[in-house]
Amino acid sequence: MSVKRISQFFNPKSIAVIGASNNASRPGYIVMRNLLQGGFNGPIMPVTPKYKAVHGVLAYDTINSLPCTADIAIICTNKTTLLPVLTALAEQGCKNVIIVAAGVSDAQKVELSQFCKDHQINLLGPNCLGLMLPHLGVNASFSHTIARPGNLAFISQSAAVCSTILDWAQHKEIGFSYFISVGDCLDIDFDELLDFLGRDAKTKAVLLYIDNLKDIRGFISAARAAAFSKPVIVIKTGRTSEGARAALAHTGGATSSDAVYDAMIQRAGMLRVNDLRELFAATQTLALHPKLLKVEPLCILTNGGGPAVMAVDCLIQSSGKLCELSEQTRRALDKVIPQSESAQNPVDIFGDSSPQRYQQALEILLNAPEVENLLIIHTPSALAPSSEYAKIIIDSLATIDSRKRPFVMTNFMGEDAAFDARKVCAQGGVPTYRTPEGAVGAYMHLIKYRRNQKHLTQTPESIVDELNTQPHTTAKLIAEHLAQGECYLNTHDAANVLEQYGIHTIDTRIATTPSEAADVAKECGFPVALKLVSPDIHSKSDVGGVILNLTDPQEVEQAAFAILLRINKIHPTARIDGFSIQPMAERAGAHEMRIAIKTDPQFGPVILLGETGNAHDFAHAAVALPPLNMNLAKYLIANALDKGVISARMLPSKEDKYRLCALLTRVSQLIVEQPDITDMELNPVLATQGHFLVLDASFAIAPYKRLAHRKRLAIRPYPKEWEQQITLKDGTQATLRPIRPEDEQAHREFDASLSKEDRYSRFFGEMPQFTHEQLAKMTQIDYDREMAFIVTRKQQGGDVTLGVSRVLMDPDNHVAEFAIVVGSNKQGLGLGRVLMTAAIDYCQQQGVAIIEGVTLFENSGMIELARKLGFTITRDFEEGTIHMKKELNEPRL
């Protein structure tokens, strides 16, 4: 779906209602009424053979009789008429259609989808409430109420949730830039809308209600881009298996584990909330105040001790923090609060506080440098109405520069006594809540969002012992097993694969019979562990298939027979390949964990981390999407600790965590580079003082079949295939490759090495040195949307960046904008041609239609290079710039 095309959907000049009606029980009646009451300035054209006029507006018998082509057509007719109506609209040239009908069959959906694709029609729905564009007065929906103009965009698969949100927003006087019910997402889906809304100046935050997703990779890519520029808050239904099935029945599609959706939402930098109540709370804080918190600690000002204690309990239990008041602030508060000998946080000014004392304490905290976030709790007072205290808050905030004052939220407790106070705060732009727990819950949304956003821009550590993986050798090993008809690798065979990625396993030998197992055990040396080898039994310890500390051959043979007897009773049809024999690992002071790879039907491979013995349950593991780098691996470990699926005693030192990060990164690289591995189980992994040894491993393998409509990985990995060694004009060797997150420091040094002239030539003006956040966005790129090539050369102390070229594709993949930077002290090495050619080749392969760039008149070297590489050169004398353009591929429809 073209973003340029979809933008036409949101700027209509005329609207037709197909199936308009004067029957108050029909959708065509409500849609016409809403359009007429919305204040839309363009023609509204009802189409119906039953009435001469609808709501007093002259009606047309047929679509062909319309006086002009409608920019949007809303189809309110029966589901059986949809294809003939679409055909007539296509003949008229209409390109934007809304279908409100529910219950459309799967066969009909296939027909409708193909028709829209063939005729380039943008389709919203079916099974949707419609569309509201408050800034244009467009209410193209059958909603019971309107949406006010505002700066929030709301997208929902549920029409019922749309109605609920509208009611809440009316009560809270909150407005919307766009209000979109997508229904079954037959054509227009979340990713196209996020691409549009992420760039829309009217939209400050985006709210999503999702039942399920179809194009996971497209959604993650669009969501990450949008979340970089504005808050994106998500409700994803189907947290339970029963809920997931209900969501599946509601909107169709596939379903995945909720833990995987959680991992995806975190990875994209969005904020997930659990229900509508949380969505409302998060909207009041995050969406209406999208500025990222500077720090996490919270200060609490209260006139009641009990509610403050409730707030503190909720804060600490949610992993929040209280801020520490400075000595200077405490002394100032002691002078204001007569009952206080040494003020502490929470600051309790007591229930008998007059408005004057209230204002004095408030101003002290608002001006305290250590107070960056302030929650004000107020219980009804006999001294003055609650609204008077609310006005004090608004007036006090108005005296402080908005750039310097802390983030403030309020909790006015009570109902009738507090209603006016909450209204004063809402009108003054201060978030306000009915309970202390509600206020703290909303505050923790800000903290969680802050952590997700910070996570997006953290620079990963490099792995000291470089990966040195052997992907080609590994692929050959797996291919040999597949050629022999094997689809399951036990520990013995899996060890050879793991070793190619620096993942160490315990010495493992195989025996096919109990007597052979006894002989093999002698060779291993006692004591040994005996384990069943069966592709049909994943958790061998749960069925008595693992026996430890066997000390002689007779014990081994007897144990093997006992296992066979047990399995024959429990799993009589299971295939038994024999036994694995391992020397007993030293377990003193060691801990066991589990690392697994599971292939999800929607997301592809996902990584699980947890304690051993938890089988395949996503609920008992922390989940992440590959590819992982060191920072993402660290985040996975933190999630596992927070979730309690591994204990802190497993990783007592920083070195332990670092080594586990390295192991997880290697596992990620293995699954990224070996598509024939569908599932993998490393269970248990023995952790001892920063060293990790795999005691049991199993792989499920199958020849990977590349599908045109679906990508294997939910997130595109580092495109290693674009790496190449090059020879510069001075005869030295260098590497041309895509940029990586780990390149931030080298990129900082490259940026610092540029002269003022270099920077002026690239940025058309004075530019300060880049911040960490800016550099993070330059190095942690989405390879599906942009590419940055760098040339590096090895020098003492590490790789040095010599030059960089960037291409940024528009969401339609039609035009790519390029830029090249080579320092003046690196001229004459041929870097410009190398970097420019790489950018062109990449865009050519991606199917980009046009690559273009802009430079200054005085950049003669760049202009000449572009001319030699086939660019058309155009001069803009008014702007003093040169425009360079090259056509690469036929534009996609």
Tokens of 491: 């520990």
Q: Average the pLDDT over 237-252 and give the result.
A: 53
Whether 162 maps to a domain, the answer reads no
Q: Is the pLDDT reported for residue 789 higher than 90?
A: yes
Residues 618 and 684 in one domain: yes
Give the span between the Cα atoms of 470 and 886, in whole angstroms.
Answer: 39
Quick check: 886 pLDDT over 60?
A: yes
Rg (CA), the chain: 32
Share the mean pLDDT of the chain. Answer: 88
Q: What is the DSSP letter of 878?
A: T
Same-domain check for residues 493 and 642: yes
pLDDT number for residue 818: 93
Q: What is the mean pLDDT of residues 55-75?
A: 96
Can you tell me the distance from the alpha carbon of 278 to that of 632, in angstroms, rounded to the nearest whole number?
Answer: 27
Q: Is residue 789 part of a domain?
A: yes
**How big is the CA angle at 682 (ends 704 and 696), to the nearest 5 degrees?**
115
Residue 178 domain-assigned? Answer: no
Note whether 837 and 767 are same-domain residues: yes
Q: Would you say residue 9 has pLDDT above 80?
A: yes
Q: Picking from 424-438, 458-472, 735-749, which range would have the lowest pLDDT averaged per residue?
A: 458-472
pLDDT attached to residue 691: 86
User: Where is pLDDT greater, at 168 or 725?
Assistant: 725
Residue 46 and residue 82 share a domain: yes
Which tops the pLDDT comparison, 106 or 710? 106
User: Is residue 192 a part of any domain in this protein?
Assistant: no
Give the pLDDT score at 250: 46
pLDDT level of residue 74 (50, 70, 90 thresholds): very high
- DSSP labels, 324-352: PPPHHHHHHHHHH-TT-SS--SSEE--TT
In the numeric block, the tokens 């609209």 are attached to 89
The two structure tokens encoding residue 759: 């920077």
Task: Identify the band that residue 464 occupies on the pLDDT scale cut at 50, 70 and 90.
Answer: very low
Tell me how far the alpha carbon of residue 269 is from its chain's centroid.
Answer: 5
Q: Are 748 and 681 in a shared domain? A: no
Same domain, 423 and 552: no
Burial of 836-849, coded b for 16+ CB within 10 Å and e otherwise, reads bebbbebbeeeebb
Q: How does pLDDT run across 292-348, given as a tens digit for each residue?
A: 788 899 999 998 889 999 999 999 998 899 999 999 999 999 888 876 666 789 999
Contact 660, 684 (CB under 8 A): no
Q: Is residue 859 part of a domain?
A: yes
Answer yes or no: are the C-beta atoms of 384 and 370 closer than 8 Å.
no
Show the domain range for 63: 1-136
Residues in the chain: 893
33 and 11 within one domain: yes
679 neighbors 697 (Cβ within 8 angstroms)? no
The answer to whether residue 493 sits within a structural domain is yes
User: Does the pLDDT at position 509 exceed 90?
Assistant: yes
Of 542, 575, 608, the one marking the end of a domain is 575
Flag whether 443 is in a domain: yes
Domain holding 738: CATH number?
A: 3.40.630.30
Q: What local confidence, expressed as pLDDT, does residue 451 receive?
A: 82
Residues 632 and 498 in one domain: yes
- The last residue of one of the domains, among 673, 707, 741, is 707
User: What is the domain-level CATH number for residue 103?
Assistant: 3.40.50.720
The residue with greater pLDDT, 636 or 706, is 636
Q: Is the model's pLDDT at 215 over the cut of 80?
A: yes
**Whether the predicted pLDDT of 666 surpasses 50:** yes
462 pLDDT tier (thresholds 50, 70, 90)? low
CA gap 29, 56 in Å, rounded: 12
pLDDT at residue number 286:
78
Scanning 412-470, the segments in alpha helix (DSSP H) are 416-427, 436-456
Whether 193 and 203 have beta carbons less than 8 Å apart is answered as no
Q: ∠ CA 396-398-404 to the nearest 5 degrees?
A: 95
Q: Is the separation of the CB atoms in 263 and 195 below 8 Å?
A: no
User: Is 48 in the same domain as 111?
Assistant: yes
Each residue's pLDDT tens digit, 775-785 = 888 999 999 88
- Using DSSP's 3-state secondary structure scheme, residue 870 falls into coil
* Of 419-423, 613-617, 888-892, the least confident: 613-617
Looking up tokens 């089988």 gives 615
Rounded mean pLDDT, 73-93 = 94
| For residues 493-503, average pLDDT | 94
pLDDT higher than threshold 70 for residue 549: yes
Domain count across the chain = 5
Do 426 and 553 have their domain in common?
no
Band (pLDDT 50/70/90 cuts) for residue 49 is: very high
667 & 792 share domain = no
CATH number, domain containing residue 514: 3.30.1490.20
Domain harbouring 609, CATH code: 3.30.470.20
**Distance between CA atoms of 762 and 871, rounded to whole angstroms?**
18
For residue 539, what pLDDT is reported?
A: 75
pLDDT band (50, 70, 90) for residue 1: very low
End-to-end alpha-carbon separation of the chain, Å? Answer: 9
647 and 780 in one domain? no
Q: Mind listing the pLDDT tens digit for each residue in 621-655?
A: 999 999 998 889 999 998 898 888 898 888 878 88
Asked if the structure places residue 760 within a domain, the reply is: yes
**Of the candidates 107, 136, 165, which is a domain's last residue?**
136
